[in-house]
Structure 1
């Protein structure tokens, strides 16, 4: 099926996407890069991504059996992790409702798409076990795209979730082992569900849930190795491709700094494009910064654009905005710690104050702290301490210097889109060579 031209191979690629907020821009960036290279790309995803997929040059397929969000309102969210204060309970919801629970439905939709039109490679999601299962069943080369750091701990890394720093003592290693066992126990609770899906397709059961992701030949991390913790050795199947930064389609409002207000430091406040129950935290941040001699720009996401917040004379609240316009002037960013916001801030050399609220944010914040490019705070922190943290990041040059240096290092690794394309083309080439050798 692979056609080769002077510019390289022409591949038929099926990309898997789902509406999870921060994972959408990297998925669309991958689609755009692959189409730009001349590959034929189909994206199977939620209806929310249809217009963006077509604009990026892909042919779109909707989920039929699998969960499919019709819009980006918080009412349509399947996981609804903001309804519980327990992060483990939120993680279990994700596993039950999206990641593992509907694996059979996701796999059926993907297999139907592959049967209708064979592909040279399946670019699945590191969170959708159904995409991994479909690749295994169809025996098509399968790569998984992670929109940020690895969900599965790399050698020498702490377990995903709590936001630990790398272990430096026997006590730390015992801590990591205890949490890893706890997380594994949660995963294993979904083993019967996953094996039932496998039995439906006539494939052998697994002993552990994590074995499913090993069926994919590549695990592509859309983050920077320089931002991530150092690793003792990187498994050959795991590749850093770099950040895939693409602004959401709805973030289209241009922002211009008013010259009359340009004498005071500018701080960007951004707390996710999806609902995490962050209204109270966001209001406390605004009220806190209203007392400071700074200018504040607050951007809301699609799911928060109707949120009513009390503002102040030095605060501008925008329902959506192009962050790059603000970051070229900003001296600091106050954020929940989403991967995209952090990467974009570092791209502009802007230090951060991070108040993680769950998901991958604790681990992103741990890396910000590790590299000294900002400070990490608990979202429940007292206003006075938050003010002090913002003043510190603004007043101590070392934060900005380290953020600028790390941003340059990340840029020197090369553009993520080009690296992702190169990895996919190399993987398909090696898979074809392996198939020929086996024959």
Structure 2
């Protein structure tokens, strides 16, 4: 233990694919340092919480998925026709719409069993409201790059690079204004929830973050387009990437003498209507001298795809066991898969499907560590990209250079020390309660 006291922590998150793993990794680290840990999340996350050594409490009023199937998906963003509609579903169905339910759940749990510090996903405004309402100290932990506007960082969504001209700066400002306007749809339900507890209304949604002591970014500063001056309430704590408890052990289905490069294809654990893309990738690799391992998750059955002779389809595989043997990772661009591949020094082909994936892809491409292809790319285009990344040594060299820095940020993560300091010190959050 890095501090003399045994502290108590309550980590809160939600089943959104990559949103769960970092919270469980931090729970394990805190437990290994001797602290008392509880996790509050969707009911299907109980096995991961127990595997991390934490107690588990499910959401009761707030959304709580019983499994990771397509049918239980809360916001069904694959049905959205535009990126703003996709983001709107997340705001309405997780971030802000159920804010009162999340606030009531967290207050009830803290009244039952108080803690020194609540550590919550930055996407759960209701948890912040509940903590603020009862004066509970809390911090925020992201599972990705910062989703909200930050000076000096390209606005999220289109996958932009840092601005290098006045014209690009003007474009970034225009997109930032549009993003802020989109997030303002969260204000009515957030302010309605705040009113239930006698808290003053917010003028803009970003004010809610002022109730938290810190926002800890669970990503690598080397991976991100980090600003020159990092805002004082933000800390980079590196990727938090244990293999999930549900990932089975893995043994290569190919013989030890098979020297063909291994290509790992790993898309979202949540459904993003990506079966057709996986099929085109499998078709692309069918005539190439590679071994193709495709992880499908719980939302796509192996029977939905045609596997070539050099392909194997599995529901899941532990990335930390597979990636050391891989030569290339093809992914949708989720933060966890991208940063894990880099930690293993593997080049990538990124095929974004929405969410934060364009922005993760931009960070890979900007460093020369891989290629970015559209989700509608043909099998021929995928085949050409696979051959290019495997044959041109620059991609591997760039992945190793960036991966060294990402891995160092993960290995030397200050997340435990940061959370201990926050739990022990007097509250520094800016009160929002005064009318």
TM range (shorter): over 0.9
Identify the match of residue 406 of structure 1 among 387, 402, 406: 402
Q: Tell me which residue corresponds to 1:159.
A: 155
Q: Quick one: which of 5, 25, 28 aligns to 1:29?
A: 25
* Equivalent position SS for 2:325: coil
CA distance in 2, matches of 1:80, 1:6: 42
2:2 and 2:273 map into 1 onto residues whose CA distance is: 52
By how many angstroms is 1:166 displaced?
A: 0.9
- Equivalent residue for 2:139, pick from 143, 167, 172: 143
Q: Are residues 183 and 72 of structure 1, via their aligned partners in 2, closer, same or farther at CA, if it must alter by over 3 Å?
A: same
Which whole-Å deviations, capped at 9, do the CAs of 1:312-351 have from their partners, x for residues lacking one? Answer: 0111111211223321121111110111111111111110
1:335 equivalent among 331, 346, 349:
331
Give the CA deviation at 1:95.
0.5
Report the CA distance between 1:74 and its aligned residue: 1.1
The match for 1:171 is: 167
Contact 2:240 2:410 in 1 (8 A): no
Q: Where in structure 1 are there 5+ consecutive unaligned residues?
A: none
Which of 8, 25, 38 pairs up with 1:42?
38
- Residue 204 of structure 2 is aligned with which of 192, 202, 208? 208
- TM-score, normalization: structure 2? 0.95
Q: Given the superposition, is the C-alpha separation of residues 97 and 434 from structure 1 closer, same or farther in structure 2, using an over 3 Å criterion?
A: closer
Between the two proteins, the alignment pairs up a number of residues equal to 430
Contact 1:42 1:58 in 2 (8 A): yes
Q: Tell me the equivalent position of 1:13.
A: 9
Q: Is residue 227 of structure 2 the alignment partner of residue 231 of structure 1?
A: yes
Contact 2:10 2:40 (8 Å CA) reproduced: yes
Structure 2: distance between partners of 1:433 and 1:19? 30
Give, in angstroms, the shift of residue 107 of structure 1: 0.5
Deviation at 1:431, TM superposition (A): 2.5
Once the two structures are superposed, what CA deviation does each residue of 1:64-109 show, in whole Å capped at 9, x if it has no partner?
1111111111100111001123121111011101111110110010
SS state of the match for residue 409, structure 1? helix
CA contact (8 A) 1:157 1:229 kept: yes
Q: Residue 428 in 1 paired to residue 423 in 2? A: yes
Q: Tell me the residue number matched to 1:278.
A: 274
1:263: how far off? 2.5
User: Would the aligned equivalents of 2:40 and 2:59 in 1 still touch at CA under 8 Å?
Assistant: yes
Secondary structure of 2:155's partner?
coil
TM normalised by structure 1 equals: 0.94
Q: Is 1:123 equivalent to 2:124 in the alignment?
A: no
For each residue in 1:199-253, what CA deviation from the matched residue of structure 2 results, as whole angstroms up to 9, or x when unmatched?
1110000001121122211101111000011312101111111111122222114
Mean Cα deviation higher: 53-62 or 366-375: 53-62
3-state DSSP of counterpart to 1:334: strand
Aligned partners of 1:395 and 1:218: how far apart in 2? 44
CA displacement at 1:28 relative to structure 2: 0.7
User: How do 1:52-201 and structure 2 match up within 5 A?
Assistant: 52-201=48-197
Stretches of structure 2 lacking an aligned partner (at least 5 in a row): 431-435
SS at structure 1 position matched to 2:426: helix
Check 1:313–1:59 CA distance in 2 against 1; reply closer, same or farther (3 A cut): same
Match of 1:316 in 2: 312
For residues 230 and 96 of structure 1, what CA distance do their matches in structure 2 show? 29
Shift of 1:163: 1.1
Query: What is the CA distance between 1:257 and its match in structure 2?
Result: 5.7
